[in-house]
């Protein structure tokens, strides 16, 4: 279930069910494709319990805002 911190521009997702993984994918829509999501899911399933997404992140090396 995603938890949004509106002022902080962060999304916290606890990965307890398949629905939670789809919430993670939906929050990343436009940044990762379904194939990349499948790879992330297979690699991290059973290992990672929580994901914190930072919206508006600026990569200091490239200057790209994500």
Predicted TM-score (pTM) of this structure: 0.71
Positive or negative torsion for Cα 20, 24, 27, 30: negative
Percentage of the chain exceeding pLDDT 70: 85
pLDDT digits (tens, 9 = 90+) for 46-58: 999 999 888 777 7
Q: What are phi and psi of 33, to 5 degrees?
A: -95, 175
Who has greater pLDDT, 39 or 6?
39
pLDDT given for residue 29 in this prediction: 81
């Amino acid at each position: 279930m995603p938890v949004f911190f509106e002022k902080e521009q962060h999304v916290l997702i606890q990965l307890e069910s398949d629905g939670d993984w789809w919430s993670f994918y939906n929050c990343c829509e436009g940044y990762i494709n379904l194939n990349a999501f499948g790879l992330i899911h297979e690699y991290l399933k059973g290992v990672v319990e929580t994901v914190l997404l930072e919206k508006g992140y600026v990569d200091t090396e490239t200057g790209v805002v994500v």
